Amino acid sequence: MKRELIAYLDSIKARDPAPRTRWEILLYPGVLALALHRVAHWLFNGELYFLARLVNHISRMLTAIDIHPGATIGANFFIDHGFTVIGETAVIGDDVTIYQNVTLGGTNPADGIAGKRHPTLEDGVIVGSGAQVLGPITVGPGARIGANAVVTRDVPTGATMVGIPARPTLIDAGSYNSFIPYGTPCSERFDPQTQQLELLKCEVETLRTRLATLIEERQAARDDRDRASA
């Protein structure tokens, strides 16, 4: 138990340069929220739903982090700062990092049938501050969600997503050799605005190609009608 706790604290220290000792990390709201969630999740699995919600409510008051007792969370999960919401059917893998003001939100099925409503974050995912990951989608291993991105579709392995709605940049996360704070490359080379401009150029070219195809199809249809009337 002690060895596992030390390994967990060291994994946080590797992702956050601010703490000088492990004792400081123990005071982090994300660490307290995760510890209380482990208790709430145990109670939830034992169908002690009221007690699970009570622990969740206490955790939310103390940390400003709301993790539903039903959420499944792997090892070395780190919430850096607070004001994060994680829904009931969310599944989080190992070594996942989430920054402040993130929502792992659910969708309301049109048929009213309960089920998997919240996202799955696989191992090594980073979610930047203010991001919204919505619905029963899967964020692949090692993917990065940039700050304030809104993700509503599956994210490929190693992709870096930016924008509203979120789209992959031209450089994937596999190109980096180190941890990326906030899930967004900060160098000029990987400027999200430049990446977004490139994506828009690609879309314009795609639309031009599609338009040319439609014009050709329309002309062919006219030619067929002319031949038929003759």
**pLDDT at residue 188, rounded to an integer:** 47
**Whether residue 56 is found in the same domain as residue 165:** yes
The CATH number of residue 15's host domain is 2.160.10.10
209 is in which domain, residue-wise?
191-230
Q: 66 and 29 in one domain?
A: yes
Q: How many domains does the chain have?
A: 2
- Residues 27, 36: Cα–Cα separation, whole Å: 13
State pLDDT tens for residues 174-225. 544 445 555 555 554 555 555 556 556 656 766 777 788 888 888 888 888 8
**Are 113 and 153 in the same domain?**
yes
Give the pLDDT band of residue 34 (cuts 50, 70, 90).
Answer: very high
State whether 114 and 157 are in the same domain: yes
Q: Do 29 and 90 belong to one domain? A: yes
Residues 48 and 124 in one domain: yes
Structure tokens at 143: 């993917």
Q: Tokens 């992702």 identify what position?
A: 15
Q: Among 52-61, 86-95, 99-108, name the one with the lowest average pLDDT.
A: 99-108
Q: What is the mean pLDDT of the chain?
A: 83
Does the pTM exceed 0.85? no
As a whole number of angstroms, the distance between CA 171 and CA 25 comes to 33
Q: How far apart are CA 134 and CA 103, in angstroms?
A: 8
- Do 125 and 106 form a contact (C-beta atoms < 8 A)? no
The share of the chain scoring above pLDDT 90, in percent, equals 46
Q: What is the DSSP string of the chain?
A: -HHHHHHHHHHHHHH-SS-SSHHHHTT-HHHHHHHHHHHHHHHHHTT-HHHHHHHHHHHHHHHSEEE-TT-EE-TT-EE-SS-EEE-TT-EE-TT-EE-TT-EEE----TT---S--S-EE-TT-EE-TT-EEESS-EE-TT-EE-TT-EE-S-B-TT-EEETTTTEE-SS-GGG-SS--GGGS--SGGG-HHHHHHHHHHHHHHHHHHHHHHHHHHHHHHHHHHHHHH-
Write down the pLDDT at residue 39.
96
Output the CA–CA distances (angstroms, integers) from residue 178 to 29, 41, 157, 167, in the order listed.
25, 32, 16, 22
Check whether residue 70 and residue 15 sit in a common domain: yes
175 and 209 housed in the same domain: no
**72 and 159: one domain?**
yes
What is the amino acid identity at position 28?
Answer: Y
143 and 98 assigned to the same domain: yes
Q: Are residues 41 and 141 in the same domain?
A: yes
**72-94, pLDDT tens digit by residue?**
999 999 998 889 999 999 999 99
Q: Which of 201 and 103 is assigned the larger pLDDT? A: 103
Distance, in Å, from the CA atom of 59 to the CA atom of 40, rounded to the nearest integer, reads 9
194: tokens are: 């430049």
30, 114: one domain: yes
Would you say residue 126 has pLDDT above 70? yes
Most confident of 1-5, 21-25, 54-58, 181-185: 54-58
